[in-house]
Chain A
Amino acid sequence: MNLLQNFPIGQYVPGHSFIHRLDPRCKLLYVLIFAVLVFMANDGLSYAILALFTLLIMKGSSISYRYILRGLKPVWFLLALTFLLHVLMTKGGTVYLAWGWLTVEAEGVRQAVFISVRLALLALFSSLLTLTTSPLELADGLERLLHPLSRVGVPVHEIALMLTIALRFIPTLLDETDKIIKAQASRGIDFETGGLWKRLRNLVAIVVPLFVSAFRRAEELALAMEARGYRGGEGRTKLRQLRFTWRDLLAFGIALILFAVIGWVRR
C-alpha cells in the first residue's frame, strides 16, 4: 500500500523554468487562447506552427518529453477512437479503400488527422498547465480570474477555499484510507482475491469508515475555522499576492503574434 503514500497530487513537477514562473492567471488564460488558436487553424501549415509552438513550450518547461507524454495516457484511447470514426465516417474525395459499406476516403483521412492533432495539442497544452503550476497556485489564479463573477452571485471565494481545503486534506485522507485498509485486512477482510462483486462489497468496509471520519473532520475543521475568525470572503486579505511580470507580458505578446500568424496563414 505504499502506492497511497506516494500518490501524486495532480501531476505538478516543481521547477523554476520560465513557464513555471509565469503567473497562474496568465497560464490559465493561455490555455483558453491556445484553444481558440487551435480551432482557428485549418490547414497543415497552421497546425505545424501550433505544434512547433507547443514543442517550444515543452522545451521551456524543462520537463522531460517522456514524462509529459506519459501524462497523456488516458487520452490515447480517445485520440484513436476519434481518428477511427473520422476515417470511416467522413466521405468525400478519392476512395482509398472499400470494404463492404465501409470506405476510407480522402476527406476522411484529412479530417481524422486534423481532428486528432487538434485534440492532442489541446490535451498536451492543458497538461503543461498542471505540470508547471502547483494546485495551490491554480486555485489562487482561478479565484482571481473568476472574481468578477462574484458580483453576479457566484460563490467564487467559497469555491476556491473548498479547492484548497480539498488539496490540503487529500494526503490526510489517503493516510487514513491506508490505515483503514490495514485495520480491516487485519480483521480478515480479503481485498485481493474473489470476484468483482465480492471485492466491490468489501470496499464498503473501507468507504463507510472513511466517510464517517471525513464528516467528523469537516465538522471539527469548521469549528476551528470559526474559532480563528473565519466569516466568509468579505474583508479578507490574502498572503499570496499574484503579480504579473515582464514574463507574462512577453507571453501575451507572443500570443498576439501567434494570432496574427495563424490568421494570415490559415485558408
Chain B
Amino acid sequence: MESAPLIQFENVSFYYTDEFGEKLPVLQNLNLTIAEGEFVTIIGHNGSGKSTLAKLMNALLLPAEGEVRVGPWKTGATQEVWKIRQMVGLVFQNPDNQIVGSTVEDDVAFGLENIGVPPAEMRERIDAALKAVGMAAYAQRQPHKLSGGQKQRTAIAGIIAMRPRVLILDEATAMLDPQGRKEIMELVRRLNREAGITVINISHFPEEAVDADRVVVMRQGKIFMQGTPRNVFADVTRLQETGLDVPLAVRIQHYLSANGVPIPPLLHQKELVEELCRLFLNR
C-alpha cells in the first residue's frame, strides 16, 4: 500500500494513574503508521496496550508524550476532535453497551444526529448503511432481540453511516460465537475492499490476522513484531515464547516441519489441508 499515512504515532507514551497516584505505563515510545486503505490487525495480550492504542486513534485519549496525527490533525492540539471522531469510527467489544437507540435504525441515526445531518439525508444514509451490513430487514427491530453478530453489525452500520475513512474494531468479535465472528470479519473485509475503508482490527484471535495486509504484535506497551502475516507467523517460536497464540494451521505446520514432515510455511487451514493431502498422495 503506497499511499499517504492516515494515522501516525510518533514516540507516543501513555500512562494510567492508579489509586495511589502511581503512573502505570501502558504505551512506551510507540511509533506506528497506518496508510489509507490498509487492513491492519493488531494482536497482543490483555494489558499489552492495544485497546489504549485504539482510543488514542480517535482522540478518546490523548497521548501523555509524543504525537498522534489523524489526517491533517494532531489529536492533542486541535479543536477538531469531532471531525476526528467522524473520520475514525470505533466499534467496541460489548455489543449491548454501545447501542444507544431503541430500534436498529434509531441507533444508526445516533451518530448522524450528533454530527447534525439533516433528517432527509439521514434517512438515505441509514438505509444505505443498513443495506451494506445486511441489516436492512431489521431496521425496526429492538436491539435486545438481535443476535450478538447482528448487534455488532448494527454498531458497524452506525459507524459507516457517518462515512468514516477508518474503522477500528476494538475486540469487536470477542463476545461473539464463531458464526457471528465470521460474519463480522467477512463484512469488514468487504468494506475494506469495496468501500476502501481503512480497517484496524484489534483482536486476540490470531486467526483474524491471517487475511490482513499487516499484522502488528503488541507486547508490554511496545510493538513487538510487525509485518505481513506470512512473515510474522513464520517466527512461531518467538511468538510462542511471549505466550501469544498463532493460528492453528501455522502451529500444526510448525510442529510437523520441526518433526521432519516437509511442509512449506502457510497460513490458512485450507492450505494446510491441501498440503497434507498432497503429502498423503505422494507417499
Task: State the A residues within 8 Å of B (CB).
Answer: 135-136, 164-165, 167-168, 171-172, 175, 216-217, 220-221, 223-231, 235-241
Contacts and interface: CB of A to CB of B under 8 A. Distances in A.
B135 interface: no
Given A136-B102, A237-B112, A239-B126, 8 more contacts: A165-B100, A220-B92, A221-B97, A227-B90, A228-B111, A228-B162, A229-B82, A237-B117
A223 B60 CA distance: 8
B77 interface: no
B122 A239 contact: yes
Nearest to B58: A227
A164 B100 CA distance: 8
Given A236-B113, A239-B112, A228 B85 contact: yes
Contact of B114 (A135, A172, A216, A230): A230
A175 B111 CA distance: 26
A168 B116 contact: no
Contacts of A227: 58, 60, 85, 89-90, 92
Interface residues of B, number: 39
A229 B58 CA distance: 10
Given A168-B143, A220-B94, A229-B111, A236 B162 contact: no
Interface in B175-191: none
B158 interface: yes
Contacts of A240: 106
Interface string B97-133: 1111111011001111111111100110010000000
Nearest to B102: A168
A164 B117 CA distance: 20
Given A171-B142, A220-B92, A229 B85 contact: yes
Contact of A231 (B58, B96, B114, B162): B114
B100 to A, nearest CB: 6
Interface centre among B58, B97, B109, B115 (most CB of A within 10 A): B97
A239 B98 contact: no
Nearest to B96: A172
Interface of B: 58, 60, 82, 85-86, 89-90, 92, 94, 96-103, 105-106, 109-119, 122-123, 126, 142-144, 158-159, 162
Contact of B113 (A135, A175, A226, A239): A239
Contacts of B122: 237, 239
14 contacts: A136-B103, A136-B106, A168-B102, A171-B142, A172-B144, A220-B92, A223-B92, A224-B92, A224-B100, A227-B85, A229-B82, A229-B85, A229-B162, A239-B113
B101 A168 contact: yes
A175 B144 contact: yes
Interface SS of A by simple majority = helix
Nearest to A174: B144
A142 to B, nearest CB: 15
Nearest to B108: A239
B97 A168 contact: no
Contacts of B113: 236-239
Those 7 A-B pairs whose CB atoms lie nearest each other, nearest first: A224-B98, A239-B109, A220-B97, A229-B114, A171-B144, A228-B111, A227-B90
B148 to A, nearest CB: 13
A15 to B, nearest CB: 15
Contacts of B90: 224, 227
A226 B86 contact: no
B117 A228 contact: no
B115 A229 contact: yes
A170 B246 CA distance: 40
Contacts of B116: 235-237
A227 B100 CA distance: 12
Given A231-B82, A237-B119, A168 B112 contact: no
B163 to A, nearest CB: 12
Contacts of B97: 216-217, 220-221, 224
A223 B113 CA distance: 17
Contacts of B99: 168
A155 to B, nearest CB: 17
Contacts of A217: 94, 96-97
Interface centre among B90, B102, B105, B112 (most CB of A within 10 A): B102
